[in-house]
Amino acid sequence: MKINKCFANLAQSYLFVDIARKVDAYKTAHPEADIIRLGIGDVTRPLVPPVVDAMVKASEEMGRAETFRGYEDELGYPFLREAIAGYYAQKGVKLALDEIFVSDGAKSDTGNILDLFEQDNTVLIPDPVFPAYVDANMMSCRPIEYINANKENGFLPLPNPGQKADIIYICSPNNPTGASYTKAQLAQWVDYANSMGAVILYDAAYEAFVQTPGAPRSIYEVPGAETCAIEICSLSKTAGFTGTRCGYTIVPKALRPEGADLNAMWRRRQTTKYNGLPYVVQRAAQAVFSPAGMAACQENIAYYRQNAGVISAALTEAGVWHTGGVDSPYIWLECPGGLDSWAFFDRLLGEAGIVGTPGVGFGRNGEGYFRLTAFGDAARTAEAATRLKDFLKAL
């Protein structure tokens, strides 16, 4: 028996665990402190009525013999995949039902999809980036190369033809920076991947926040993407499913690197290592894509977007450079006064009672930057913005 030694390459604990420990220690020392959390990207608005109604009805169906459901179709129930296909059709993207795989979330699939690829494939990951991408590949001992995202390129790096890659992670709108690729920029990545014979793993978890006219909400809006890209999405932010769990992965049949049928391989993997999503949750997800469900979910997204605008306005008034907050629930700011990320975290918590996320936790290029989220209560976010302005002016 041998232990996977690649785990030794991981940080001792996950970024948000470290933050929680720091906050708990501060609360113990300062029990009177009124802390506003703009750190972890969890939603706060409740599930919308059409979704709740669908869950109640589905629960009742499970209690009657004539409507009880057991094991599901390995891809997900057809009614949900049809709803997802209809949603993509509104974006001008045509999908076959057997190209859609229902799952319990994007985070799981961005790691699990690696089962389809050999361990010696070189993985290209932007820096800074959502930590799970890096950790999942470290756990499986894959070689990782980074491409620099920075202030100069708007935290939207473009491919370097001289850099070889086999698997490419792209998240747009981006977590943590909130930056979003244009269609022309994504086309450069699609052309690069097709020329390299590489596969793009495209995380579209925040696509529902995109409002800029002409901005892509799916990589399949770019011609040629169907031969090089797997798109992974989630309802966590679209519909507040962080505690309900539902996502989906799209593996086009046209995606056949080295002649391999990745669609069939993913189906085989899922039938072996995944038990499927509960019927009740899939009915709830179907309701998300109904006209009433989408309208209600967009109201919640507008609520978060307004929060982002409040935070962005406070930073603008204080003269602090930042990105995000337009087509994204994240605001990425440059730490003022030359402070490093953790020093800014400590001072923001201690002097303003605000919790955010140190940028260095997302990679080397995140040092000197900081992430705030717009998922809080509107009144508390407004209070945080006032505190933030006062804090920044006093620095």
CB 301 within 8 A of CB 209: yes
pLDDT average, residue stretch 59-73: 95
What is the three-class DSSP state of 199? strand
Does 40 or 152 have the greater pLDDT score?
152
Q: What is the phi-psi region of residue 366: left when phi exceeds 0, alpha when psi lies from -120 to 50, beta otherwise?
A: alpha
Q: Which residues contact 327 (CB under 8 A, 6 or more apart)?
A: 173, 178, 180, 206, 209, 210, 211, 212, 215
pLDDT at site 74: 84
Give the sign of the dihedral formed by CA 40, CA 44, CA 45, CA 47: positive
CA 70/CA 52 separation, integer angstroms: 21
Buried-exposed string 14-34: b where 16+ CB fall within 10 A, e elsewhere? ebeebbeebbeebeeeeeeee
CA 97/CA 94 separation, integer angstroms: 10
- 148 has a pLDDT exceeding 90: yes
* Residue among 182, 178, 250 nearest 215 (CA): 182
pTM of the model: 0.96
Helix (H) or strand (E) segment spanning residue 370: strand 369-373
Q: Predicted confidence band at 11 (pLDDT cuts at 50, 70, 90)? A: confident
Give the sign of the dihedral formed by CA 339, CA 343, CA 349, CA 350: negative
* Residue among 52, 99, 65, 58 nearest 225 (CA): 99
CB 112 within 8 A of CB 269: yes
CB 85 within 8 A of CB 97: yes
pLDDT average, residue stretch 145-152: 97
pLDDT at site 158: 98
Q: Predicted confidence band at 101 (pLDDT cuts at 50, 70, 90)? A: very high
pLDDT at site 17: 85
pLDDT tens, position by position, 76-88? 999 999 999 999 9
Percentage helix, strand, coil, to 5, in the chain?
Answer: 45, 15, 40
- State which fold the 49-289 domain adopts: Aspartate Aminotransferase; domain 2 (3.40.640)
pLDDT at site 73: 83
How many CB atoms sit inside 10 A of residue 393's CB? 10
pLDDT tens, position by position, 228-237? 999 999 999 9
User: 24: which 2 tokens?
Assistant: 């708990």
pLDDT at site 321: 97
Beta strands in 235-306 (DSSP E): 247-250
CA 202/CA 220 separation, integer angstroms: 10
Distance of CA 322 to the CA centre of its chain: 19
Percent of the chain with pLDDT strictly greater than 90: 95
Distance of CA 35 to the CA centre of its chain: 25
- 105 has a pLDDT exceeding 80: yes
pLDDT tens, position by position, 195-218? 999 999 999 999 999 999 989 999
Q: Does 49-289 match 13-42+293-394 at the fold level?
A: no
- 15 has a pLDDT exceeding 90: no
CA 170/CA 153 separation, integer angstroms: 15
Strand order in the sheet with 357-358: 322-324, 330-334, 369-373, 357-358
CATH class of this structure's domain 13-42+293-394 = alpha beta
CA 83/CA 286 separation, integer angstroms: 6
Q: Which residues contact 193 (CB under 8 A, 6 or more apart)?
A: 168, 199, 200, 228, 229
pLDDT tens, position by position, 320-340? 999 999 999 999 999 999 999
For the chain, give every domain's residue range: 13-42+293-394, 49-289
Q: What is the mean pLDDT of the chain?
A: 96
pLDDT at site 72: 84
User: 27: which 2 tokens?
Assistant: 């609360």
